[in-house]
Structures are given as C-alpha cells and as structure tokens.
Amino acid sequence: MKRFLIRWGEGYLYRPSLLQKLFSILLLPLSALYCLCAYIRYRRSVPKNQGIPVVSVGNLVVGGSGKTPLVIELARRFAKPAVVLRGYGRSSRGMVVVKDRDILCDIAQSGDEAMLYAKSLPHGVVIVSEIRERAIAEAKAIGCDVVLLDDGYGKHAIEKLDVLIRVKTPNPFCLPSGAYREKLWKGKEALIAEEGETFTRRVSVQNPTRKMVLVTAIARPERLDPYLPEVVEKVYFEDHHPFTPGELEAIVKRTGATSLLVTQKDFVKMASFNLNLTVLELSLDVDEAFIEQVKEYVNAKKD
C-alpha cells in the first residue's frame, strides 16, 4: 500500500492524469497558504556567516533531481571538502561524523546518501545532522576548506551560495497542489544548473549479465529509463528503503534474473549481501565556467 501511494504521489506531481489535475486545483487554497508561510519564514530569516564557505546544492521541488553526483563533482574540486546532510533513512539521531579520513560508522547510522558520499570522496569529510549549523561548525573544527550542503536551499539562516538544479514539472504550484517546496524568492540569488547546459550525464554499466532486473529505492525512478540496458522487470521501492537479503533473493527467484541492476545509492546498501549485482554508475561532466563561479564564491569567502 505504501509503495502504491508513493508511486501515485509521484504521478500526481510530475505526470498528472486529468483527475489528478482537478484534484490539484481543489487544493490551491492550501497551496497558497503553504507558499505564504514559506515566504514569511524566508523573510524573517537573517543569513549568518558560518566562518567557512558554504555551497548548497539542491532543488526547489520534492523528489529526486540528481544532486548527489553534482555535489560529488564539486567536492572533488576542493582540497578538503565536507559534505553535510540530514541523513534521511538513518537509524541514528543527532550529529554523526560519517567519514574523516576513514569511514567511522556503518550505513545504518549514516544513511545511504551519506555512505555514498563517504565512499566516493577519498579526501572528503561527511557529516550528518538534523541541525546543519552544528555539522558546519564541526567541519570547520576538523579543518575543512568548504562545506557542500546537500539540499539546503530552505536553510535561509545560513549564509551560502545556492546552486539549484532545474527540474521540469507541469505544475508550477507549491505543495500540496504542486511539487514546489519553495520558490526562488525575490532577492534570493542562486546559480541555476540545468542538464544539457550546465552538466551532462555519463552512465556506465558495471558487471552486466544476460538477464538483469532493475531494483532501486530512489525518488522518481523513471529518471533512470533513458540510461537503462535491457531488463526483464523494474522493481521500485520507496526512497531510502532499507533492503534485506530475503526480499532481494525473492525477486531474483521470481524473475529468474542473473543479476540485480542497481544504482550506486542502492549498491552501498547491498554490497555486503551475497548477491550478484550490476551497478549503474552515473557521473557528470560539468561546465568549467559553472565550476569557476562556485570557486570564485568560495575563494571570496575565504579572504
């Protein structure tokens, strides 16, 4: 039932049927109230310098946008970056230093995205915390030279450069009528990143087999469709789902697959299982002029 509701919600926000469009219109008064509250919150916030350059990478809408590979590419351009994120799906609470030289906790404590960052950035620090300011202060104390804030546009009290990935949606309204959590408010500057202009994707398939079944737990998994090799079936779980060996073995048995085709975010949760995995590896080619804009901001904040 939960999986059905998630898929229905993603369809409602990004591929609405006629009935869903009508439902969206009925909810417009609630959307106006939600948007007004978000705007008042923005206007009441005073950005505070954190004593270290902060760059936020995210988007304005709910659901996935491909921010993780962009954060990774930006982090690779700095000597000692820190990635700070909330850590959705983790079993821990409070602040946890996931990586500082070595990985310091398991995936249950870090969450899947944080562990992917930890494994992808040999020279990076990764910290999860519900209170981002606390994690930023810890990154500064460790000696990092920049903080990459995962999905932090709405943290208006933090002085930062906002990088927003443009996500196309047929519905321009705020929740619950549309997909927008916030708007790009007047007076709020941001660098806009767009696929095909700011960056292009590179996808490779590691360990392909004859009969693969796609199993993934990411938001809006249909985003993978243009990059998929031939698969016998697609099995979608809710974002950040904690896989178990038993449920994956059942999928293999039912489909007769010779391997599970998974994303890198899924792989970090399955790597310890005794299963044959094919990994869909995604990376970005980012426009150098865009990267220079980010570097200019960071260098200016260091001076």
The residue-averaged pLDDT of 69-76 equals: 96
CATH fold match for the domains 43-198+287-302 and 201-283: yes
Residue 5 has pLDDT above 90, yes or no: no
- The CATH architecture annotation of domain 43-198+287-302 reads 3-Layer(aba) Sandwich (3.40)
Count the helices and strands in the chain (H runs, E runs): 10, 13
pLDDT digit string, tens, across residues 258-274 = 999 999 999 999 999 99
Hunting for tokens 């700070």 — which residue is that?
A: 84
Domain ranges of the chain: 43-198+287-302, 201-283
pLDDT digit string, tens, across residues 228-240 = 999 999 999 998 9
- The CATH architecture annotation of domain 201-283 reads 3-Layer(aba) Sandwich (3.40)
Hunting for tokens 């990774």 — which residue is that?
A: 72
Query: Residue 162: what pLDDT?
Result: 97
pLDDT digit string, tens, across residues 151-179 = 999 999 999 999 999 988 877 899 999 99
The residue-averaged pLDDT of 64-88 equals: 94
- How far apart, in whole angstroms, are the C-alpha atoms of residue 140 and residue 286? 27
DSSP result, 221-275: GGGGGGG----SEEEE--TT----HHHHHHHHHHHT-SEEEEEHHHHHHHTTSSS
Query: Residue 61: what pLDDT?
Result: 92
Query: Residue 1: what pLDDT?
Result: 65
Give 302's pLDDT tier (boundaries 50, 70, 90).
confident
